[in-house]
Amino acid sequence: RLLFLPRKTSQGFLHGFFDTVNSVQFSNHTGYAHWKGQVLNSDELHELYEGLKLNKVNQYDYVLTGYTRDTSFLAMVVDIVQELKQQNSNLVYVCDPVMGDKWNGEGSMYVPKDLLPVYRDKVVPVADIITPNQFEAELLTGRKIHTEKDALEVMDMLHAMGPETVVITSSDLQAPLGNDYLIALGSHRKSNADGTKMTQRIRVESPKVDAVFVGTGDLFAAMLLAWTHKHPNNLKVACEKTVSAMQHVLQRTIKSAKAQAGEGNKPNSAHLELRMVQSKKDIENPEIIVKATVL
């Protein structure tokens, strides 16, 4: 059972069973020129969670969080996760620390800057799996990534902060397959019975898609949660299935967007809404079209 706190009634279904508490309620995603709506704060999150507790349905195996714009909300997430881990020591918290990204080599934050210390000092230490992009990994560690070696060292720094699994979902590193490919890197650190630690590291190179999508990070984190549940000690397979499914969704989306825009026209934000429903089979059982390399 999953407690899901995404951007958008709390009972529902995803990959089976999940309860949703929306971190924001927006008219549309922020890739559009304008949006209206509300940002949930800690008091409102606490009230909703108390409702789940009163009905004794706050029994979870996973917690997944993504986009938010409120520091008090994030701090309350930490309190809830810690309470849930006291109830279930095997609970896995998956955090997508949504803060910003790089465009043309320059990084910028698209959430308030005061979220960074909360993520770094409070949220990441209680997370089991985190899915930052390169820019977010740099923000969390204060270390710039220029090479793959830098990225591996940054992931080690993130492991030291708490999470057993770190996936840098996208980067501007040079891909061995060429400039038309995007690199993601993953690292899973497991403690053995004798106290020693074993680390599995992987690189995934996926074809670039010439478009700007919104929601890919949410989709990636949700699918990684599902596939690490299916393959808890095999990050390579979990990432291959996650990234392959992403490719199926993006390719279907861009094909549909171009058809809607018409020949010679550039697709707009509405055209580029991810084709999730149309990609249901690929999400549930993706054909592996992207392979990972063990480092």
User: Please, is 218 exposed, middle or buried when counting C-beta atoms within 10 Å of its C-beta (0-12, 13-18, 19+)?
Assistant: buried
Other Cβ atoms closer than 10 A to 239: 28
CB proximity list for 150: less than 8 A, separation 6 or greater: 143, 144
Residues written for the chain: 295
- Exactly one of 19, 96, 128, 218 is catalytic; name it: 218
- Residue 79 one-letter amino acid: D
Three-state SS at 231: coil
Q: Which helix (H) or strand (E) holds 110?
A: none
Report how far residue 27's alpha carbon sits from residue 71's, in angstroms, rounded to the nearest whole number. Answer: 22
Q: Is 114 a catalytic residue?
A: no
Other Cβ atoms closer than 10 A to 282: 19
Report how far residue 125's alpha carbon sits from residue 108's, in angstroms, rounded to the nearest whole number. Answer: 24
Helix 148-161 vs helix 134-141: crossing angle, to nearest 10: 60
Report how far residue 2's alpha carbon sits from residue 20's, in angstroms, rounded to the nearest whole number. Answer: 8
Catalytic positions are: 218
